[in-house]
Amino acid sequence: MQMENCSAVTEFFLVGLSKYPELQLFLFMLCLIMYVIILLGNSLLIIISVLDFHLHTPMYFFLRNLLFLDICYTSSSISPMLIIFRSETKSISFIGCALQMVASLGLGSTECVLLAVMAYDRYVAICNPLRYPIIMNRVLYMHIAAWSWIIGCMNSLVQTALTMVLPFCGNNIIDHLTSNLTVVVLFYGSALFMYMKPKSKDTKAPDEIIGLSYGVVTPMLNPIIYSLRNKELKEALKKVLSRHLKSWKI
């Protein structure tokens, strides 16, 4: 058997949207604006749902977890993306890639589980309204949320470990992105399109746009969808705003 030399890969070069130099500044500003909207929108809804006692229910507990997940998920992906957009060297170290993979897979997997849990919560509330407080008691929904995070992290660690022990010989260039039903369709729909479509040798620009959709656009739309289509959240938002406006006038 002929033995081939195999040198260890120390870094990966990222292409994808980075191969369009004329769009770098535009993409940087676009992602930065969306990132700020994600941080402000999700943080505002988390604060409102914590301050309003009427929103201390299982549904809003899961929603707070989802909003916090969106902040963490986008922070782990957009922050390096912004740096790469403005950097001359479009590369990431081997260790940095592994950490990025752990964070993205873990948070993404947790969000998938959490969206399913939120769907189950709504199913129980609609189909068993009288028994809902008993079924979805505090101990149960806190355990469910905790296990969502645990399952997501375990899935991430296993997949990353299995990937990083593979021999990375040869090409080290990566094509990479530099109402509840609506959110589920946006998140699962774009993700399923990415991973289940037939492999093609044509340009991968559509893949990168879809990746940008579920990685950035969906977390940005979550607070808008949940606030505009939720009467309780809108009322809580009005109370908080009116309270602060009165204090400013005084």
Residue 201 lies in domain: 24-238
222 vs 70: CA distance, rounded Å: 8
Q: How far apart are CA 71 and CA 41, in angstroms?
A: 10
Q: Report how far residue 171's alpha carbon sits from residue 233's, in angstroms, rounded to the nearest whole number.
A: 50
- Number of compact structural domains in the chain: 1
What is residue 179's predicted lDDT score, i.e. its pLDDT? 44
In a domain, 59, yes or no: yes
Q: Give domain status of residue 173, yes or no.
A: yes
Q: At what angle do helices 138-164 and 94-127 cross, to 10 degrees?
A: 150
Domain presence at residue 246: no
CB 215 within 8 A of CB 176: no
Q: According to the model, what pLDDT value does residue 248 have? A: 63
**Is 8 within the bounds of a domain?**
no
* CATH number of the domain residue 96 falls in: 1.20.1070.10
**Among 29, 22, 27, 70, which residue's Cα sits nearest to residue 209?**
27
Q: Is residue 158 part of a domain?
A: yes
Write down the pLDDT at residue 3.
47
* Residue 15 and residue 9 in contact, taking contact as beta carbons nearer than 8 Å: no
Contact 27, 216 (CB under 8 A): no
- pLDDT per 10-residue tile (average), the chain, 250 residues: 54 62 78 85 87 86 90 83 74 79 86 88 90 92 93 90 74 55 50 52 53 65 68 76 66
